[in-house]
Structure 1
């Protein structure tokens, strides 16, 4: 069984993954996936450079061994080995000397966050560059500098990981997260470590649905995965979630699918309103991650996003401040609980119909106190309210919303009624 304290286990895995330099392709992605493979049985897939994926093409593979800027006294004033955010992602090789004035054209810093190293990439146009804290940039003195980037950009492949957990039905729940950023904790690693924890939990239980869990490079990876699996996904996926930015301990956020009316949206809203009513709700116009691909016209998968602080909405985002101090064990544990509640609700969500005419006699089945008092009536009010709306036209989420009772609290009621042959599943009403 999974540890009681999933948050601690997730945080320890994040610490191990944090130093790895990842990008949309390359050995950093492979190393990350191999570590995840130690925890869950994912399949690692390679897709060659040049493969057409809808309107895109998989680019050359990028790998980097070393990079630095050295002053004329032999001091490395910028060093990739100290922080892999120091190098612009996908930087081409360079080995030359230049003045500080010439070098400034290739430096990136943030005046408004002077102590943060920014995260900068150039995937689809060949460039090179270095990123540094603005305070460090201001300390650079006039003189000559050696600029060195030992990188390689050549045909290779894009790598992703996939785990299919079979259920009782071919209908699927889809979980997607990305593995393409260097050392950032919340924006990059919180999603994968949560996906691993959820996969362990799912693997240890019997599930109604089949679960499709993918670890992909953002954007180009989701496009690649869709191009290879779209027909099957459109046929079988009933709900999905994009896992990102789930590691801080701030308020929860919800970003809907493009239509906003899918089963994923319905379940997410129900769980959030009943357990985390202070959550921040966005619209699809605020999108920015892989929901752009999963919900795009013609694809229209039922995918929503449940996050802590949404990407782009916290000051540490896409900087070196998104580190292991920003993410907490409690934050990860809370997100695990939130997603587990959503998946459990999906598992139990059916169109239920009471199996007899009139109210069933609960007392003879031990479901209702045989002595009728004012207090005893309130004890079973939720059960009676559930029964009142279990007419085959409402699913569990509908009934939860109608009677204003958390679906999580209704699941034991459903179990008891099924055990006593008082509840039918009206699958014919389900869309």
Structure 2
């Protein structure tokens, strides 16, 4: 095994171990579960947390009351806990109000949720904006309930508190930004929750270790209300500076890759994602923006209209385990996480290097005298020369790196060494300029 392979394996395993640590925490759109999650992530990256008070107006919405839960169960007449929140936090409808009373089976049924077509799964149910209480159980368990009295107990509280989110700004040479967003509001589910935060955490660690031109804005937020809250406080700066961005979710299984475009569908984010996916995984599943369902709804909404797309493994809502207890630590793997972080790293490298290039001479350059033409002809050397000559043919100052890669059908990662060799021999120039902090510009 090569050293790079060992490093990659460790990255995937590290992400999976972080997921195992976060998995038991009961998260919701507000509350101590979110704070505990962010505190653990802060051990790995210098994340700043922000609290936004209940009642704060955020566009057309309002920050809700804070919800916390300590315990919950259903107890039968014999004193047996037939449903226990401490065994699986999906057992309680998120944002359930406190309750402590005895009910008949008929009354209990009005507050139970199960899935008839998935009888062994506990469903994930929420009621953020209407006060109610409820329990989620497997359908098999529900069918076994007998007539009698049941004690229902939920030790929770709804109070004026705050919504919590995490933010990390990684400065680059330019104030133009790449935006990464993930959400931290689901209880114990692995692919549709924790895969996003753990991958984003290790992606941020990698970005911090790399030379970079762009500034990176990275947020860990509760879905929907969190993105609306964050946008309400930052959208003017974001609209001015963000050139590309991704909403990171459902990135941990080993099934096919999926792509969800921005509303525009042809932003720099879209072009980079499509190029990397088509070159590496041409069998990926391509969705329409009409299939959206996560925070891209907010980031791409009219008036905001940020260039935000998503690269996923199996898209939310498209796998049978989605929003159930079956979305567990067996569904997500270290290999699945590793594959997706590699895709995101490649996209970021492409965004950093995506410039327009121009050959510095008229006519075809003489490669032999510069040591760029092989003296021994082999099948491999012939391909390298062909790729270089094809790159030169389209390096006309009009095509950027994504264009050229698409035209000549060569992965961008294979073009970096060609660009370096041509630049070392003063045959290639970058013709675009990017704004640098302080108002200076850097000729590219």
Which residue matches 2:57?
52
Question: Given that residues 65 and 159 in structure 2 are in contact (C-alpha distance below 8 angstroms), is that contact kept between their aligned partners in structure 1?
Answer: yes
TM-score (normalised: structure 1): 0.97
Corresponding pairs, count: 430
Give deviations 1:332-380, integer Å, cap 9, x for gaps.
0100111111111111100111122222222222211256799855431
CA distance in 2, matches of 1:234, 1:112: 44
Cα RMSD, aligned residues only: 1.7
Which residue matches 1:75?
80
Give deviations 1:247-273, integer Å, cap 9, x for gaps.
000000000001101000001111111
SS of the residue corresponding to residue 235 of structure 1 reads helix
1:428, distance to aligned residue in structure 2 (A): 5.9
* Higher alpha-carbon deviation: 410-419 or 120-129: 410-419
CA distance in 2, matches of 1:421, 1:239: 30
**Do structure 1's residue 129 and structure 2's residue 134 form an aligned pair?**
yes
* Higher alpha-carbon deviation: 209-218 or 407-416: 407-416
**Do structure 1's residue 422 and structure 2's residue 430 form an aligned pair?**
no
* Higher alpha-carbon deviation: 184-193 or 398-407: 398-407
Q: Which residue among 182, 201, 204 is the counterpart of 1:196?
A: 201
Query: Which runs of no fewer than 5 residues in structure 1 stay unpaired?
Result: none
Which residue matches 1:231?
236
Which residue matches 1:402?
407
Give deviations 1:70-101, integer Å, cap 9, x for gaps.
01110001110000000000000001101111
In the TM superposition, 1:84-233 aligns within 5 A as 84-233=89-238
Question: Given that residues 47 and 158 in structure 1 are in contact (C-alpha distance below 8 angstroms), is that contact kept between their aligned partners in structure 2?
Answer: yes
Question: Given that residues 351 and 429 in structure 1 are in contact (C-alpha distance below 8 angstroms), is that contact kept between their aligned partners in structure 2?
Answer: no
Which residue matches 2:345?
340
SS of the residue corresponding to residue 4 of structure 1 reads helix
SS of the residue corresponding to residue 232 of structure 1 reads helix
Which residue matches 2:440?
none
Q: Which residue among 64, 79, 100 is the counterpart of 2:69?
A: 64
Query: Which runs of no fewer than 5 residues in structure 2 stay unpaired?
Result: 436-444
CA distance in 2, matches of 1:83, 1:35: 21
**Do structure 1's residue 245 and structure 2's residue 250 form an aligned pair?**
yes
Question: Given that residues 105 and 146 in structure 2 are in contact (C-alpha distance below 8 angstroms), is that contact kept between their aligned partners in structure 1?
Answer: yes
* Higher alpha-carbon deviation: 149-158 or 403-412: 403-412
